[in-house]
Structure 1
Amino acid sequence: MTSFPDPVVLRRGSADPQAPLVVLLHGRGADEASIIGLVDHLPTGPSYVAVRAPIAEGGGYAWFANRGIGRPVAASLAETMAWFETWLDGEYAGRRSVVLVGFSGGAAFAGGLLLAHPGRYAGAAVLHGTLPFDAGVPVTPGRLAGVPVFVAQGDADTVIPRELLDATWAYLTTDAGSLTTTWRDAGGHGVSSGALAALGKWVGER
């Protein structure tokens, strides 16, 4: 198994160990500093942590090796998910409510974590990304039954392949069985002000 470094983490919000935890997962080739600013648009009350992905890539970091944009290598995804959950268990053992918020590559990683262990998380936001189809995690009907999910997409997104975006939207609004909140606008590969407002409302409800 690959040996990864301990995660680099930025923390904001509540220091109360009983507060809900919101974990922010950045996009491919970025880092934790690129996503921590989302906290400015999210409710006060939770603890927020932005985690650096473990694989160095392109001046930034990635959550998994891939075989094309939005298509994780299954073995790599399994390793990094195990690394993440080992950290989470050690750093935030006993935290009752953990919500994942991922952008782009971080969205695929958040989706993988949720699909692998749907009962572990209080919900996940998939922002301008795809679920990790054909990557070793179950994507079966009813897999996310009753789990809150937020999905945001832009019609002009040309970074993530359109067929993966469409498959993600279709799964999360039908077969998954999740309690899915959707946001769609005409934008590209970036979180719009409208999506941020909708995300903030969704996080507050968790």
Structure 2
Amino acid sequence: MASTLTRDAPALAFTHRFEPATDGAASPLLLLHGTGGDETDLLPLGRMIAPGAALLSPRGQVSEGGMPRFFRRLAEGVFDEADVVRRAHDLADFIAAARTAYGLAAPVAVGFSNGANIAALVMLLRPETLAGAVLLRPMVPLADPPAGDLPSTPVLMLSGAMDPIVPAENAARLATLLSARGGKVEHKTLPASHGLTSADLTAARDFIARIGR
């Protein structure tokens, strides 16, 4: 399958990988890595959960000790909120430019950890950007999230029962927040830690199959 590494600026300002669709009926996926990942990390996951879908995978533009992220944090679980908002808008702008460049429909985001957090905020700030989301180990991205309307946007949240990073209360609060904004949220807590398991892959694949056409 063809894959391109692109660093075009300013419109496609994120270094990213793009794999074109081989199944024209499949919704494109936006793959958003966790801390320390890059634009290649979630490509295998994308191929497994949505065979034939176009894959768009940007690299986070923030470096934390040499590890890419999508926004700055001040400590574990403590985010630089002004930076979070700015970076979410930057990502939404990139997605819009990539849709034009590659001829894509609105993608379904698949984000892990830091990538899941920024995907959640993109949905809240710029709800027209994404057709849905799979949020793997997400947290509430802002202490005072913006008002927004997610008209029936499908969202799958997958939390880990033994996750040492994301408190159960925080994940539940995010599910409630997205639901209150109109999202069609499914929140599942799996017998897992912060890392992904085969149960995550199965749940994500089933969800994408239901909403992705």
Deviation at residue 15 of structure 1 after TM alignment: 6.4
Deviation at residue 101 of structure 1 after TM alignment: 1.1
Match of 2:157 in 1: 151
Match of 1:175 in 2: 180
Give distance in 1, aligned partners of 2:120 and 2:86: 15
Give distance in 1, aligned partners of 2:166 and 2:187: 18
**Are the aligned partners of 1:71 and 1:132 in contact in 2 as well (CA < 8 Å)?**
no
- What is the number of equivalent residue pairs in this alignment? 200
Deviation at residue 40 of structure 1 after TM alignment: 3.3
Q: CA RMSD in A?
A: 2.6
Consecutive unaligned residues of structure 1, counting only runs of 5 or more, are none
Secondary structure of the residue aligned to 2:156 is: strand
Instruction: Specify whether residues 45 and 118 from structure 1 end up closer, same or farther in structure 2 by C-alpha distance, changes over 3 A only.
Output: same
- TM-superposition CA deviations, 1:131-167 (whole Å, max 9, x none): 31326x4257xx3341110100110000223432232
Give distance in 2, aligned partners of 1:18 and 1:78: 33
State percent identity of aligned pairs: 25
Deviation at residue 33 of structure 1 after TM alignment: 2.3
Worse-matched range after superposition: 63-72 or 23-32: 63-72
Alignment-mate amino acid for residue 185 of structure 1: L
Alignment-mate amino acid for residue 112 of structure 2: F
Alignment-mate amino acid for residue 55 of structure 2: Y
Instruction: Specify whether residues 192 and 19 from structure 1 end up closer, same or farther in structure 2 by C-alpha distance, changes over 3 A only.
Output: closer
Deviation at residue 37 of structure 1 after TM alignment: 1.9
- TM-superposition CA deviations, 1:17-61 (whole Å, max 9, x none): 986321110112222222222123212232012210001123321
- TM-superposition CA deviations, 1:99-118 (whole Å, max 9, x none): 11111011110001001122
- TM-superposition CA deviations, 1:160-194 (whole Å, max 9, x none): 2343223223434x534321223321110022211
Consecutive unaligned residues of structure 2, counting only runs of 5 or more, are 1-8
Alignment-mate amino acid for residue 89 of structure 2: A
Give distance in 1, aligned partners of 2:196 and 2:20: 21
